[in-house]
Amino acid sequence: MASLLLSQSLTRMRSRPGHITSWAFFTASMAFTFYKAPSLQEPILRYACAGTAATLFCEVIMHGIDTVNMRSKIINGPKLYVFELIKLEGFSSLMRGIQPVLYGYFIASLVYFYAYAQSKQVLSELLFKQESGQEVRITEQGQQQPTSIYYKTMAVSFIGSGFAEFLSLAFYYPFDLIKTRMQVASQGISPSQRYLGTLDATLKIINEGAKDQKLLDQVKGIKNLYKGGFTFGMSYTAYMAVQFSLFESILLYLEIHSGVRQQHQANPHGAKDHSWLHISIASFLAGALGGLLTNPIEFLAVNIQTQENFSTMKYIRQKGVIYDMMFKGGLWRSVYHGLQAVLFFIIWQEYAMHLNVDIAMFEE
């Protein structure tokens, strides 16, 4: 009787897209950030909460562009451009796959920003220890900041971000796989797979290749949730490392040469009111360049995620493959990540101000 009720409940849950649950989860996360997170005593926890809230908010706004970006990389799928896609499937098709994004990024972002802050703290103490108290500031006479400060800031951010992203991917990747499958499902990839929602997609992916529904086969099928994980991990770890290292070093350069840096150094603790203009310039350059440089790896990752029996070695031997890897979807990816970076870092700055932390904490 109990197993029957469980089976019926699971069937009902699978048949529902889960919109209400996922948006309620998103609303609760935002409410916690605004009303409860400011009372947390540990600055790094507030830092992580600010970054997580900004990530979720940004993903909701930019998800439609990401859907077009994902579809543009499917090798065997038809070329569906934005207006054609909306005409054929409706505007809501651009938001397909948002539910696993909200769940996955909540967990992964908390892990990422906490690990990133901790890593920066340790690395900064190691790299900047010898220069402590000896920093050269720009003065009215034109004394220049040593060039090494930019390289060390870039190194700290690159290593810290790469390490943090590597840890967070263990939690996030299955959700990204589900998200990508849901985004491109109507493209004809695995035509037997029509995902009703996050739970339905999860169970179908786990059961792929299983001869029956035995528990052992389902347990073994969990590895399907990490299909393409290595390639995706290379792509996203590289992207996050490039983006954050470029952002923090460019922001540092802009603030030093505009004189804002001296004002921030007068208040070494708590939030710092970084200029939206500086944030926008630094974040767009970092996001667009990072997206362009890592486009070839993402191109392979998306096709591994969505196509059964995809062979990387066979594919790269095909004529014109290098051009496809370098440029197919590259414009969408650069625009998407450039705009997303601007939106993310500005929102993160506002959340950080509310929670009394600095987005560039432990920078030096």
Q: How far apart are CA 231 and CA 139, in angstroms?
A: 47
Residues 6+ apart with CB under 8 A from 238: 162, 293, 294, 297
Q: How confident is the model at residue 331 (pLDDT cuts 50, 70, 90)?
A: confident
Residues 6+ apart with CB under 8 A from 362: 117, 120, 121, 124, 156
* Contact yes or no for 93/86 (Cβ under 8 A): yes
Of residues 201 and 314, more confidence is placed in: 201
Residues 6+ apart with CB under 8 A from 74: 184, 187, 189, 302, 303, 306, 307
Other C-beta atoms closer than 10 Å to the C-beta of 142 total: 6
SS3 sequence of 183-247: HHHHHCCCCCCCCCCHHHHHHHHHCCCCCCCCHHHHHHHHHHHHCCHHHHHHHHHHHHHHHHHHH
Q: How confident is the model at residue 277 (pLDDT cuts 50, 70, 90)?
A: very high
**Length of the chain measured in residues:** 364
* Contact yes or no for 183/96 (Cβ under 8 A): yes
> H-helix or E-strand containing 332?
helix 330-355
* Contact yes or no for 193/169 (Cβ under 8 A): no
SS3 sequence of 165-192: HHHHHHHHHHHHHHHHHHHHHHHCCCCC
364, pLDDT greater than 90: no
Residues 6+ apart with CB under 8 A from 290: 239, 240, 242, 243, 246, 337, 341
In tens, the pLDDT along 74-101 reads 655 555 556 676 777 777 777 888 889 9
pLDDT at 138: 38
In tens, the pLDDT along 307-326 reads 767 777 776 777 766 666 66
Average pLDDT over residues 222-236: 83
> H-helix or E-strand containing 5?
helix 2-14
Average pLDDT over residues 114-119: 95
Of 354, 359, 351, the closest CA to residue 57 belongs to 351
Q: Where are the domains of the chain?
A: 42-130+151-174+229-355
Q: How confident is the model at residue 129 (pLDDT cuts 50, 70, 90)?
A: low
The CA-based angle 56-82-101, given to 5 degrees, is 20
pLDDT at 112: 96
What's the distance, CA 255 to chain centroid?
26
Amino acid letter, 112: Y
| pLDDT > 70: percent of the chain | 73
pLDDT at 143: 45
Q: How is residue 46 written in tokens?
A: 């507030």
7, pLDDT greater than 60: no
Where is average pLDDT lowest: 18-27, 156-165, 299-308?
A: 299-308
Indicate the average pLDDT of the chain.
79
The CATH classification number of 42-130+151-174+229-355 equals: 1.50.40.10
